[in-house]
Amino acid sequence: MATQFSTQDGKRWKAPFYTVWSGQAISLLGSQLVQFALIWYITEETGSATALAGATMVALLPRVFLSPFIGALVDRWNRKRIMLIADTLIALATLVMALLFTLDVIELWHIYSLLMARAIGGAFHAPAMTASTSLMVPKEHMTRIQGINQTLNGGLNIVSAPLGALLIELLPTQGVLAIDVATAAFAIIPLFFIAIPEPERAPQLEAEKPSVFTEMKEGLDYIMNWRGMLYIAGFATLLNFLLTPASSLMPLLVKDHFGGGAMELGWVNSTFGVGAIVGGIVLGVWGGFKRRIATSILGIGGIGVGSLLMGLTPANILYLALAANLVIGIAQPIANGALGAIMQVAVDPSMQGRVFTLLSSAAMAMMPVGLAIAGPLSDRYGIQTWFILGGAACLVMVLLMMATPAVMNIEGDQRVASVPVEV
The tens digit of pLDDT for each residue in 58-114 reads: 877 777 777 767 777 777 777 888 888 888 888 888 888 889 888 888 888 888 888
Residues 6+ apart with CB under 8 A from 301: 331, 394, 395, 398
In a domain, 49, yes or no: yes
**Residue 172 and residue 18: Cα distance in Å, rounded?**
33
Cα dist from 291 to 32, 298, 310, 341, 372, whole Å: 33, 11, 30, 11, 37
Residues 6+ apart with CB under 8 A from 171: none
CB of 158 within 8 A of CB of 277? yes
CB of 355 within 8 A of CB of 71? yes
Note the pLDDT tens digit of each residue in 126-185: 778 877 777 777 776 776 777 777 677 767 766 776 787 778 778 888 888 888 888 888
In a domain, 2, yes or no: no
- Tell me the three-class secondary structure of 210-249, residue by residue: CCHHHHHHHHHHHHHCCHHHHHHHHHHHHHHHHHHHHHHC
In a domain, 8, yes or no: no
Q: Is the predicted pLDDT of residue 306 greater than 80, yes or no?
A: yes
How many other CB atoms are found less than 10 A from the CB of residue 103? 9
Note the pLDDT tens digit of each residue in 234-273: 787 777 777 777 777 788 788 878 888 777 877 887 788 7
Note the pLDDT tens digit of each residue in 209-219: 566 667 667 77
Residue 414: per-residue pLDDT: 55
Range of the domain at 70: 14-194+209-413
Q: Is the predicted pLDDT of residue 207 greater than 70, yes or no?
A: no
Q: Based on the structure, what is the number of domains in the chain?
A: 1
CATH of the domain at 328: 1.20.1250.20
In a domain, 7, yes or no: no
Write b or e for each residue in 135-171: b if 16 or more Cβ atoms lie within 10 A of its Cβ, otherwise e.
bbbeeebbbbbbbbbbbbbbbbbbebbbbbbebbeee
**Residue 369 and residue 371: Cα distance in Å, rounded?**
5
Write b or e for each residue in 308-345: b if 16 or more Cβ atoms lie within 10 A of its Cβ, otherwise e.
bbbbebeeeebeebbbbbbbbbbbbbbbbbbbbbbbbb
State the average pLDDT over residues 25-42.
82
Residue 89: per-residue pLDDT: 86
Residues 6+ apart with CB under 8 A from 277: 151, 154, 155, 158, 329
Among the listed residues 304, 390, 367, 324, the one whose alpha carbon sits nearest the alpha carbon of residue 53: 367
Q: Is the predicted pLDDT of residue 321 greater than 80, yes or no?
A: yes
Side-chain half-sphere exposure of 343, counting CA atoms within 13 A: 28
CB of 339 within 8 A of CB of 233? no
In a domain, 5, yes or no: no
Beta strands in 181-315, from DSSP E residues, in sequence order: 198-199
In a domain, 419, yes or no: no
Cα dist from 219 to 42, 72, 274, 347, 356, whole Å: 38, 8, 37, 11, 9
CB of 226 within 8 A of CB of 373? no
Computed on alpha carbons and rounded to an integer, the radius of gyration of the chain in Å comes to: 21
In a domain, 200, yes or no: no
In a domain, 173, yes or no: yes
Q: How far is CA 84 from the centre of its chain?
A: 19
CB of 356 within 8 A of CB of 344? no
